[in-house]
Amino acid sequence: MPSFSLDALADAAESETQLSKKEFPLMPVGQAVDMGFTDDGVPLIDPRIFDSPEFFRNPYPYYRILRDHYPVFHDKLHNTYWVTRYEDITACYFDDEGFNTIPKGSSSGVLGNTQLELSGVEHRRRRNLYGQHLVGKSLENRIPAIERLAKEMIADWENLGEDVVQDKDGVRTVNIAAAFANEFPIRVVSEILGIPKDAQGQFFYWYNSMMAGLGGSATHQMGLEARQDLEDYISDIVEQRRVTPTYLYDNDGNPISKDIISKLCETKIDNDYLSTEEITSNIALVIGGGGETTRGAILNLWYLLLQHPDQFEAVMEDEANWDLAFHEMLRHSSSIGGQPRHNTHDVEMHGVKVPAGSLMEMVDFSANHDDRIFKDPETFNIFRDDLYAGKILRSGYNKDGKCSHMAFGVGPHLCPGAWISHQETVVGSKILAAHMKNPRINLDKMPKDIDGTSLAPIGLISVRDLWLDYDL
């Protein structure tokens, strides 16, 4: 009988099973776990890393490996092609028919049919139905309302409980997530939609449930129920507004414009009024899109600025720098990781053949840290000279030799809330800054990194709680 031993292989298999149970170790920020190398010294990527806590807090070294060695990474565990370079993502975003958005995404069940999932002409026809109310003149009209809401919320801090606001020895300690950022964007959205004040608390609950229900998660049912309740509620409002439109008012009580629901009620497409279902879905999207992202933007902006006191100083000295800080923050740490696309035809990118209909995940996070575009991408620098920070343009990905960040995407599916999100974050932050004297991060209350002393990195998830101290 020939000598034959599968024992070595069986032992190896045994240790593989152990590894699959094992969590990946948490690494110092900026360093990747060793997942093996090819003979040419190229690091390997174990797709289980994408599910790991390590990846959520420290994603950028892995994205760097993908960009440098696997610009289109076929992840067979998640049946996904990860596209990670800025130039490639830009090209795909502009070709919205070759890389379509048909609904295979997880949001459809909860948010309903929205333009996230339309392509081509269908998308172009609907895109501006509500988007037009969130830009330009109609946005300017709404800024006083945004300011008023921010001031109202801050004025109310006196009345909040110990779990959110604590005063001691002339120093106030406040969690600006719970006291401001979590709810502010939703209040703004419900205000401009024209949701009655008494329903705004309920509205906030629906929003939270819908967000929790995305992605086929365990709380999906909650999300669906919230969505159904929201739909019932909005349907009634829509029916009323069809007959009696309502208005937004400026600080002097003069009507500025109709609220968005009233505007949508009189909008026609294909010579026909929008159905209540269409209005509701788009409102669900406005709520979903306008809440979480702006919440994260405000918190990340303050977290990053206060960790770079010189830059915070510069912003305090010149209010115009808030815009630079806003865009650099979105480049450095935005709240939306990327967008799914499906290739309409068989394509080959970087030598990888992708059959038609595959999920190609455009990783905006990675594009924003692509050092082919942004020098020293892991550094937060609001004065960097390679980031376009002017007026947000659909085609503005490359102006004056500068590239825009990818947090709002680019091309036909550019975030329609980009402009209002910008205004909410900057206006809200200016009002916060005016209120708080000498603000600084309360280190005791904030989560720490693995070394136990430095602040935890933002990673893929925006800051959840942000405790600040300021002098009263």
Partner 1 sequence: MQNESQESTTKAKDAVNPASPDSKVTVGRNGVAIAAHAPKEHKDYRTYEVYQRERVGQSTPKLRPGDLRSPAFMIDPYPFFETLREDYPCYRDWSSNGFWVSQYNDVTSIFADDANFETRSKLWFYNFPDYGRNLGHELPVLIARAKGFDQHTVPCMEEIIGGVSSGTNLGMDFAARLPLMILVRTLALPEDDFQFFAERYWRMQRGFLWDPVAQKAGRQAMDELSAYFDPLVEQRRADPGEDFISAIACLDVDGGPATGRDVTATLLEDDHETLHGALANMWALLLSHADQLEVVKSDQRMMKFAYLETLRHSAPVLFAQRFAQHEVERFGRLLPEGALVLCAAGAANRDPRVYADPDQFIVGRKDLCQREPRGQYRADGLAAGVAFGLGKPSIYPAIPEDRPPSRYALTRDTATTASTLLLEAFPKISLQTGAEVQLRCLRWGEMHTCWQLPVAV
Q: Which residues bind partner 1 (CB under 8 A)?
A: 1-7, 9-10, 13-14, 16-17, 20-21, 35-36, 38, 44-47, 51, 74-80, 97, 100, 102-104, 106, 108-110, 112-113, 117-123, 215-218, 220-221, 223-224, 227, 342, 344-345, 352-353, 355-359
Element housing 185 (H / E) = helix 184-193
Q: Whose CA is closest to 332, among 464, 462, 176?
A: 462
Structural tokens at position 232: 């019932």
- What are the residues whose beta carbons fall under 8 Å from the beta carbon of 427, sequence distance 6 or more? 143, 146, 147, 150
Compare residues 187 and 341 and give the one whose CB is closer to partner 1: 341
Least distance (Å) from partner 1 to the CB of residue 333? 25
Compare residues 78 and 440 and give the one whose CB is closer to partner 1: 78
DSSP 5: -
Q: How many CB atoms lie within 10 A of CB 6?
A: 9
Compare residues 90 and 101 and give the one whose CB is closer to partner 1: 101
Pairing status of strand 171-175 against strand 165-168? antiparallel
Least distance (Å) from partner 1 to the CB of residue 320? 41
Q: How far is the CA of 442 from the CAs of 157, 396, 455, in angstroms?
A: 17, 38, 10
Least distance (Å) from partner 1 to the CB of residue 16? 6
Compare residues 196 and 357 and give the one whose CB is closer to partner 1: 357
CA 28 to chain CA centroid, nearest Å:
25
Compare residues 177 and 226 and give the one whose CB is closer to partner 1: 226
Q: What share of the chain is helix, strand, coil (3-state, %, to 5)?
A: 50, 15, 35
Least distance (Å) from partner 1 to the CB of residue 187? 27
Compare residues 287 and 330 and give the one whose CB is closer to partner 1: 287
Sign of the C-alpha dihedral, residues 203, 205, 208, 211?
negative
Q: Quick check: helix, strand or coil at residue 354?
A: strand
- What are the residues whose beta carbons fall under 8 Å from the beta carbon of 134, sequence distance 6 or more? 416, 417, 419, 420
Write down the residue that tokens 């294909």 correspond to: 270
Compare residues 228 and 454 and give the one whose CB is closer to partner 1: 228
Compare residues 16 and 162 and give the one whose CB is closer to partner 1: 16
- Rounded distance, CA 283 to CA 260, Å? 9
Least distance (Å) from partner 1 to the CB of residue 348? 12
Least distance (Å) from partner 1 to the CB of residue 51? 7
Least distance (Å) from partner 1 to the CB of residue 203? 20
Least distance (Å) from partner 1 to the CB of residue 129? 12
Compare residues 227 and 405 and give the one whose CB is closer to partner 1: 227
Structural tokens at position 234: 């909005």
Element housing 317 (H / E) = helix 309-317
Least distance (Å) from partner 1 to the CB of residue 98? 9
Q: Whose CA is closest to 65, among 378, 406, 349, 370?
A: 370
